[in-house]
């Protein structure tokens, strides 16, 4: 079974199963490495789902639990990237964008900057362009292109695929700092996916 076919077996029902039962979705048997990755993807989704409705205080004072200690996470700050970092970190993702720039690096090269997730994904073999329609639950979705200031990043929590199981057709997302809170989107088409009229999705970043 191909990687995309495996995703089709689980991704289409993952978010729904977590919402209804509060436990991971059950799919076909997979190699151990895939099972470990899918457990982490399921945990990312579960973490995000439990935060829907959380709001910031005045001046970007987002919920303090997202300020993961030891990572240089700022508060207050624009926090869509902070939320994605928190969901990945608490689910056990080891390799992810740094939340502070390296010495001598651009101030834009940090996970607080939404489109840095795109740059980091490309540099680390984790980037999937929107045109590829290759996405799985737990991926970050990036709106905009590095180094755009007008940008946003969220989390994919459900994916619908075509009949082949190879191409994603729709996604549902959970996004922090959208209207100053954590929101759960409706199921949306990959084609034209956006976070506002002038903020088109450019692609996805995989946690693995």
Q: What is the share, in percent, of the chain residues with pLDDT greater than 90?
A: 81
3-class state of residue 109 by DSSP: coil
Given this model, what pLDDT does residue 115 score?
Answer: 98
Given this model, what pLDDT does residue 34 score?
Answer: 87
Rounded-to-integer distance, Cα 138 and Cα 204, Å: 10
Rounded-to-integer distance, Cα 34 and Cα 46, Å: 18
Given this model, what pLDDT does residue 100 score?
Answer: 96
Given this model, what pLDDT does residue 197 score?
Answer: 86
Domain boundaries, the chain: 3-205
pTM: 0.87
Q: Which tens digit of pLDDT belongs to each residue from 88-135?
A: 999 999 999 999 999 999 999 999 999 999 999 999 999 999 999 999
Q: Which residues contact 129 (CB under 8 A, 6 or more apart)?
A: 202, 203
* pLDDT at residue 31 is higher than 60: no
Rounded-to-integer distance, Cα 45 and Cα 112, Å: 20
Instruction: Share the mean pLDDT of the chain.
Output: 88
Given this model, what pLDDT does residue 14 score?
Answer: 52
Rounded-to-integer distance, Cα 7 and Cα 158, Å: 10
Rounded-to-integer distance, Cα 154 and Cα 170, Å: 15
User: Which pairs with CB-CB distance under 8 Å and at least 24 residues apart come from 100-108?
Assistant: 100/71, 100/72, 106/147, 108/146, 108/147
* pLDDT at residue 166 is higher than 90: no
Closest-CA residue to 17 (of 9, 8, 25): 25
* pLDDT at residue 6 is higher than 60: no
Q: Which tens digit of pLDDT belongs to each residue from 44-85?
A: 999 999 999 999 999 999 999 999 999 999 999 999 999 999
Q: Which tens digit of pLDDT belongs to each residue from 186-196?
A: 999 999 999 99
């Amino acid at each position: 079974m191909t990687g995309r076919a495996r995703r089709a077996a689980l991704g289409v029902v993952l978010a729904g199963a977590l919402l209804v039962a509060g436990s991971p979705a059950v799919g076909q048997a997979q190699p151990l490495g895939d099972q470990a990755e899918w457990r982490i993807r399921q945990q990312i989704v579960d973490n995000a789902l439990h935060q829907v409705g959380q709001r910031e205080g005045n001046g970007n004072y987002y919920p303090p639990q997202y300020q993961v200690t030891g990572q240089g996470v700022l508060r207050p700050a624009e926090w869509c990237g902070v939320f994605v970092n928190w969901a990945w970190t608490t689910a056990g993702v080891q390799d992810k964008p740094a939340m502070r720039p390296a010495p001598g690096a651009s101030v834009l090269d940090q996970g607080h900057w939404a489109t840095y997730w795109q740059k980091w994904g490309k540099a680390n073999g984790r980037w999937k362009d929107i045109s590829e329609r290759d996405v799985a639950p737990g991926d970050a979705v990036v709106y905009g292109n590095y180094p755009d200031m007008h940008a946003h990043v969220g989390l994919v929590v459900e994916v619908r695929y075509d009949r082949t199981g190879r191409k994603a057709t729709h996604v549902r997302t959970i996004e922090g700092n959208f209207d100053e809170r954590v929101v759960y989107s409706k199921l949306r088409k990959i084609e034209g996916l956006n976070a506002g009229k002038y903020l088109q999705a450019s692609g996805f970043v995989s946690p693995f």
